[in-house]
């Protein structure tokens, strides 16, 4: 589905990614874990075409997407739930969802997906005509995920979906991520500081440090790895 080959990317004279290589197979859940500032968000922003790739290559379904405009990458089936959720605060819940389906023309399919996200998160149906900015943190996370799903993505990028949420809400969010992956065969790339939860639902994981991938393995192996336990699992 996705391959990054020795990707370097950054902002001004900050090189946030110093040669990141990874692959994601179709239908997988892959976790990317790492400390604050390690380059997790930059990795997702590079895939979405927001942060330009300075060297190396990003392949989506075998095709290079280097230098492609962000809207073309969305059109190729990649949606992102960014860090901090980034809800359009002055748009209603419904309008936020409309924006998620911005590039789609198939009205029947859009309606069907709307029913689907309202079934996943019934509270959003109740808040449909409220402004996005009036939702609670958990509701905003649900809306941000729903907005991304409205594009009917093949690859869903999730940036710290558990950040700032109560434990009960975190469990619900991770359960739904797993469900989306199972029912729709949506490939998921999950960025988390909450490494334990992420690795429990993931198939494989990568560990990033200072803009470089330092370790990769099956998720259950990473959970059992003493170095990972010490650095990221607080054990």
Ligand X SMILES: Nc1ncnc2c1ncn2[C@@H]1O[C@H](COP(=O)(O)OP(=O)(O)O)[C@@H](O)[C@H]1O
Under the rule (CB under 8 A), what is the footprint of other proteins?
48-50, 69-71, 74-75, 79-80, 82, 86, 88-91, 95, 98-100, 102-103, 147, 151
The least CB distance from residue 226 to other proteins, in Å, is 37
Q: Please pick, from the candidates 41, 48, 141, 144, the single residue that binds ligand X as defined by CB under 6 A.
A: 41
161: partner contacted, choices other proteins, ligand X, Mg ion, none (Cβ within 5-8 A by kind): none
The least CB distance from residue 101 to other proteins, in Å, is 9
**194 contributes a contact to ligand X by CB under 6 A:** no
The least CB distance from residue 23 to other proteins, in Å, is 23
Q: Please pick, from the candidates 50, 77, 83, 94, the single residue that binds Mg ion as defined by CB under 5 A.
A: 83
Q: Hey, what are 154's tokens? A: 């093949």
DSSP letter for each residue of the chain: -EEEEEEEEEETTEEEEEEEEEEE-TT-EEEEE--TTSSHHHHHHHHTTSSPEEEEEEEETTEE-TT--HHHHHHTTEEEE-TT----TTSBHHHHHHHHTTT---HHHHHHHHHHHHHH-HHHHHTTTSBGGGS-HHHHHHHHHHHHHTT--SEEEEE-TTTT--HHHHHHHHHHHHHHHHHH--EEEEEES-HHHHHHH-SEEEEEETTEEEEEEEHHHHHH-HHHHHHHS--
Question: Which residue, 74 or 222, has its beta carbon nearer to other proteins?
Answer: 74
**186 contributes a contact to ligand X by CB under 6 A:** no
The least CB distance from residue 144 to other proteins, in Å, is 9
Question: Which residue, 148 or 180, has its beta carbon nearer to other proteins?
Answer: 148
39: partner contacted, choices other proteins, Mg ion, ligand X, none (Cβ within 5-8 A by kind): ligand X
Residue linked to tokens 């500081």: 193
Binding site for ligand X (CB under 6 A): 11, 14, 16, 34, 36-42
């Amino acid at each position: 589905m996705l391959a990054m080959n020795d990707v370097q990317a950054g902002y001004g004279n900050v090189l946030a990614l110093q040669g990141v290589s990874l692959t994601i197979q179709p239908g997988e859940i892959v976790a990317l874990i790492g400390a604050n500032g390690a380059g997790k968000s930059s990795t997702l922003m590079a895939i979405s075409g927001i942060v330009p790739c300075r060297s190396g290559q990003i392949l989506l379904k075998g095709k290079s997407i280097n230098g492609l405009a962000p809207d073309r990458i969305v059109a190729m089936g990649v949606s992102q739930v960014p860090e901090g959720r980034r809800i359009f605060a002055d748009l209603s819940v419904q309008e936020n969802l409309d924006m998620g389906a911005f590039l789609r023309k198939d009205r029947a399919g859009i309606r069907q997906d709307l029913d689907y996200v309202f079934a996943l998160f019934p509270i959003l149906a109740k808040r449909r005509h409220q402004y996005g900015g009036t939702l609670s943190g958990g509701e905003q996370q649900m809306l941000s995920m729903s907005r991304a799903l409205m594009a009917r993505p093949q690859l869903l990028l999730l940036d710290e979906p558990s950040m700032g949420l109560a434990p009960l809400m975190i469990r619900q969010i991770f359960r739904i991520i797993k469900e989306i992956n199972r029912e729709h065969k949506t490939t998921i790339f999950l960025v988390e500081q909450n490494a334990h939860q992420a690795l429990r639902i993931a198939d494989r994981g990568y560990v990033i440090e200072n803009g470089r991938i330092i370790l990769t393995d099956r998720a259950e192996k990473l959970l059992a790895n003493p170095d990972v336990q010490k650095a990221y699992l607080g054990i």
